[in-house]
Structure 1
Amino acid sequence: MNFRIIIIGLLTIVSLQSSCSMEKPTVPPNIVWITSEDNSKHYMSLFDENGVETPNIEKLADNGVIFNRAFSNAAVCSAARSTLIASCYGPRLASHYHRKMECIQLQDSMEMFPSYLRKAGYYTTNNAKEDYNIIKADNVWDNSSNKASWRNRKEGQPFFHVQNLNTTHEGCLHFTEDEYPTHKTKFNPDSCFVQPNHPQTDLFKYTNAFYRDRIVQMDEEVGDIINELKKDSLLDNTFIFYYGDHGGILPGSKGYLYETGLQVPLVVYIPKNYRHLIDLENGSMTNGFVSFVDFGATVLNLAGIEVPKNMDGKPFLGKGVSKKQLEDRDETYSYADRFDEKYDMVRAVRKGKFKYIRNYQPFNFDALMNNYRYKQLAYQEWRNLYDAGQLNDVQAAFFKPKQAEALYDVEVDPFETNNLALHPEFATKLAEMRTKLETWEMSMPDLSFYPEFYLLKNAIKDPASFGQAHKNELSRYFHIANLSLADFASVKSEIESYLKSTDPWDRYWALIVCSSFGEADSELISFAKEISKTDSELINKVRAAEFLGLIKAENPVQAISNALYKSTDGAEALLILNTIVMLQDGDQKYSFDLKVNKIQKEVLENKLVEQRLIYMQLL
């Protein structure tokens, strides 16, 4: 009798388990991305004490997960979106220059991640911004337009939909002096937090309030999209990701590898019918680090699609990802090179509470002119106050040459104003973070150790394979660049050897190292003078003259102007113009009397060159 009862009990348990498993959906979930432009986490109360309430995003969080440590890998639109769509790091693909002068091509075995969804039967739509620096294949979207919607799919077909909101885009702060402050903000400017590296002026307070108004408006638009999904009875079957596409638009954020330019808000709504895929509770939050390179891989994992091995990203949700695994993730990498017409080369890693920034060309001060960015009145006021000597040291740092290395404790110093790399007690941590970043850069490898114009000529059709084929050369350029981190006397002879190298990019980086040191060494000056006159590469003549100008050993104007006039490559000329503007606007205040009629026609056709010439009042 007891034996029979046990058998009946076991059969009942098996039946119940079978019944439960039958209730799991037999089709993969729908996935929606709601992407707001130019929002870091710092302006929403869900993430920061100085932020505003966003009730619709907060409602998503009630039935989902708040990610306190989510990051864009780049601090500007096209570089960030290229990382998202490829699920690969930008410097590996040369897809991180903003805006593109030419789209790069993915090799045959690499695809934009929505193409894998389409092959698996998904309906894929994007409404509407793309802004990729990568040639888009025909198999990525079923529809990418301002009319794209999940509603046009076949009955029962799972979908992946991206909805882009531009309400908070940087352009919203391009109001004029006539418009300010006639437009009254809903938020009281006097009660708005102004970060410590900004001037505490009425204009900065007003700009903060205006931006927060826009965030509230954006949140209402998020609510509209959620209501449309609800109307279509889709909420029980649809993951919803809300996130900002990179950092915010207050000065020194978008376009810079500071936390205000990189750390984004991220909330993921978990649908009732797919709770079994997620090892996190509704209404919970996680401090596990996730970044844009992981987003595409995560979508594929939620959809039950194997993540391709040539993707750099790793899933942070879905099958095989435990809560503990997510919480153990504690690092993110980021990169910056060209933003519109402005060049710099910066890499960063954050691990836990520490942030390490490597400025490869520290003489390119943060405030180097970018025409679009400086349409914002707050930027203009910041510059004017610096010129008038009315800023404190923290506020003025934006306009001065940088240190080659920076280390911050971002929990104590969230706006990265106290460089711990200058403190001997942090030497061990500095070395640890430096090694971590170096290992990542060389593992790709990082293509930016070639100038962009060289990559456009030689690598654009298959940059990833080009990087692998030239890994040894890139490793050597990387080594040369890092000589600037050593004691000058200990590496001086090595710098000299690279200045005499037959490889032009050895010479290129050796000259940048000279400028980074700023040492007026007589032997290096002699080498630089020779290179400025005889080098086979115009850009090396410029780098040599740049070094001589920075240390005031020789007026660089004629040598650099002549190189600009000889260039027939718009991208090369743009890099030369970057040096001209840096030497003109920096502390050296060199005066360039350029003649547009001497600049080659092919160069003048470059739209970004045009921006530089407009700024210099030559067009």
Structure 2
Amino acid sequence: MINMYVEFEKNIQYKHLYWIVTLLLLIPVVSIANSSTEVHDRPNIVLLVSEDNSVHYMVHFSPGGAKTPNIETLAEAGITFDRAFSNSPVCSVARSAVMNGVYAPRTATHHHRAIEKVTMPEGWEMFPHYLREQGYFTVVNGKKDFNMMEGNVWDEDGNEAHWNSRPNENTPFFYMEQTGPDTHESRLHFNEETFRTQSTVHDPDEVEVFPYFPDTELLRYTHATYLDRHLDIDKKVGQVLTELEKDGLMENTIIIYYGDHGGVLPRSKGYVYESGLHVPLVVYIPEKFKHLSPFKPGSRVKGFVEFVDLGPTILNLAGVGLPAHMDGVPFLGKDVSAEQVNERDETFSYADRFDEKYDMVRALRKGDYKYIRNFHPFYPDGLWNRYRYIQLAYRQWRDAYKDGELNSVQRHFFEERQPEALYDISSDPHETKNLADDPEYAEVLEEMRSRLRLRMRSMPDLGLFPESYLVKNAVQDPLSFAQKNTTRITELSDIADLTLLPYEQVKSDLKLALEADDPLKRYWALISCSVFGEEAEEMIRLAKDLIYDGSPVVRIRAAEFLGIIGDGDPMSILYDIVNTRNNESDVLLALNTMTYLRDHLGYEVNPGSIEPVVDSRQIGWRIEHLGNRE
């Protein structure tokens, strides 16, 4: 029976479909099979994770990057994956996919720092749990940051946790360590005095200025500072390697180094561009276990691997059977061939709420083509987000935009987006030339659109539900919720996709959706109206009725559309929701709209009128921003 699933997974076009078939056939979830491999013959596995660094800052992956001799030495004896991708450009969502082996929108773990952590379906565990069941000593040292309840995963957990705590030297271990926050976004939160007085190891005059940035002294200094931080994480990697060598463990230990997502100059962390997703990944496999890799030492692999594949790969390396619910497919270990891995050419990604900033973006890269679907394209990428704008380079870039000092490529970050974007990464690696409207690429656009739509619907993608709805209805059992709402998700997706067609062609469907009994159909119809903008002016009457809707999220979207159209003052509706709703995500959504309308459309906000009955750090950040004119 297990072999049938393995064969099915190899041949199906979208690997995450097979769990649906499993349920339909009423076949129970595949249990974790006991391997015939003796426990003491299994490799130790060490996972070293750095924060917020894409491939663009390490010379091993990109010209002009920092030299990282310890990581490079590891690669010389190991394998470099040149096309490794995080599924999300922010830590908690990315890490949730790694640990579950499941795409986050399938399990409602797609919002950064979940307002309420998700309870995983019965029988679904983080991958270290399965290692532990099979005799591994599981250890995590440092940051975890997951969006779901952990369950029975770790033998030891904490900043002092170590593999030496295992019961005896014959016990195989899985050890996961955060290499420290040296490359974290916060390391670029220096002040003006630091910028003026502290020098960098890397020469700011020598760094590459990405085409979407203005070429300024501050931007160059920020980039050079970030390259310096890579020297620090390389030292941390070296320290772990030295410890393993000292303990005589190098020839029994598989070592995996990767970055947890991209970053962290502006337009990277939090965004589904390559700068936010394309991560370094190096795997060292000692001679003793070379049979677990189809690649020779020193190889560079061109096949696509993504974060949902990491857990299944580690289980496969350990000789532990794979749970049937995982979306990922191993890229190393038993029964994996180099040809299979190098044929992989697709990765799926997503971005939703990041702290107090709401958005919904899905992306698919296949080969050199990258397709991005912006579900709220009226929001610019540069919508205010407190943590990002602590960085001086962000502020300078925004100020240059306000002062009219940027070219069209540099301005794009602060302007309305298109619902669809298509990029050819081979000729446009920084994703600055949108080909979606180019007739020459019409067939490519249609294919990529169809592939992404199929991905979302077959999961199904729970991002089509407002966060407050998920918190109330889904987080205790996301799988059952998704099964009950499969048809509804397709219907909501259809309404969202009306924006991909000419307005005259869809206006009758839009009107029907605005009048639908389902409040979430009304919700998405209003978002579609906002995308169409003035073209949808004839829907104003219906939108004005919906500002009194029984659903708070519908009221928010009605106010948003009326604000975009310029019909009346939407702020009174938003004040009412902020000041009466005892629900953090509804309040955050209303404040998000308020911020957009003020900062980008010129509406006035009276901070004295904002008196929420619920409080949180993110709500406080929004209110603080609305109280000033930044």
Q: TM-score, normalised by structure 1?
A: 0.94
Counterpart for residue 62 of structure 1: 76
Counterpart for residue 266 of structure 2: 251
Counterpart for residue 617 of structure 2: 607
> Is 2:208 the partner of 1:193?
yes
Task: Verify the 8 A CA contact 1:480 1:510 in the aligned structure 2.
Answer: yes
Counterpart for residue 266 of structure 1: 281
Counterpart for residue 509 of structure 2: 494
CA distance in 2, matches of 1:503, 1:188: 58
> Is 2:526 the partner of 1:539?
no
- 341-350 vs 534-543, which moves further: 534-543
Aligned equivalent of 1:447, options 462, 467, 475: 462
CA distance in 2, matches of 1:277, 1:79: 29
Aligned equivalent of 1:562, options 552, 557, 576: 576
Task: Verify the 8 A CA contact 1:85 1:113 in the aligned structure 2.
Answer: yes
> Is 2:330 the partner of 1:315?
yes
- Paired amino acid for 1:267: V
Q: Please give the secondary structure, in 1, of the residue aligned with 2:349.
A: strand
- Paired amino acid for 2:229: R
Shift of residue 564 of structure 1? 2.4
Aligned equivalent of 1:116, options 130, 134, 139: 130
Which 5+ residue runs of structure 1 have no aligned equivalent?
1-22
Counterpart for residue 362 of structure 2: 347
- Paired amino acid for 2:469: Y
CA distance in 1, matches of 2:278, 2:428: 15
Residues 76-127 of structure 1 deviation map (CA, whole Å, 9 limit, x = unaligned)? 1111111111111100111121122111101111001100000000011011
The 3 A distance-change label for structure 1 pair 598 and 64 is: closer
- Paired amino acid for 1:582: Y
1:193-592 alignment runs, 5 A limit: 193-532=208-547, 534-586=548-600, 588-592=601-605
What is the number of residues matched between the two proteins?
591
Shift of residue 563 of structure 1? 2.7
The 3 A distance-change label for structure 1 pair 89 and 521 is: closer
CA distance in 2, matches of 1:215, 1:585: 35
- Paired amino acid for 1:106: M
Task: Verify the 8 A CA contact 2:546 2:554 in the aligned structure 1.
Answer: yes
> Is 2:593 the partner of 1:593?
no
CA distance in 1, matches of 2:536, 2:240: 63
CA distance in 1, matches of 2:545, 2:137: 61
CA distance in 1, matches of 2:156, 2:127: 15
Q: TM-score, normalised by structure 2?
A: 0.92
Shift of residue 607 of structure 1? 2.2
The 3 A distance-change label for structure 1 pair 582 and 155 is: same
The 3 A distance-change label for structure 1 pair 278 and 598 is: closer
CA distance in 1, matches of 2:453, 2:568: 34
Shift of residue 285 of structure 1? 0.7
CA distance in 1, matches of 2:142, 2:536: 55
Shift of residue 597 of structure 1? 6.5
Shift of residue 50 of structure 1? 2.3
- Paired amino acid for 2:140: N
Aligned equivalent of 1:172, options 187, 209, 234: 187
Shift of residue 554 of structure 1? 2.8
Residues 151-171 of structure 1 deviation map (CA, whole Å, 9 limit, x = unaligned)? 111220111101102211111
Task: Verify the 8 A CA contact 2:163 2:173 in the aligned structure 1.
Answer: yes
> Is 2:165 the partner of 1:152?
yes
Across the aligned residues of Structure 1 and Structure 2, the Cα RMSD in angstroms comes to 1.5
Q: Please give the secondary structure, in 2, of the residue aligned with 1:239.
A: strand
- Paired amino acid for 2:531: S
Shift of residue 568 of structure 1? 2.1
Which 5+ residue runs of structure 2 have no aligned equivalent?
1-36
Aligned equivalent of 1:74, options 88, 107, 111: 88
Q: Please give the secondary structure, in 1, of the residue aligned with 2:83.
A: strand
Counterpart for residue 198 of structure 2: 183
CA distance in 1, matches of 2:69, 2:564: 52
- Paired amino acid for 1:611: W
CA distance in 2, matches of 1:599, 1:46: 50
CA distance in 2, matches of 1:280, 1:120: 27
CA distance in 1, matches of 2:259, 2:469: 33
- Paired amino acid for 2:300: M
Task: Verify the 8 A CA contact 1:561 1:594 in the aligned structure 2.
Answer: no
Residues 445-466 of structure 1 deviation map (CA, whole Å, 9 limit, x = unaligned)? 1111110011001111011221
CA distance in 2, matches of 1:436, 1:181: 49
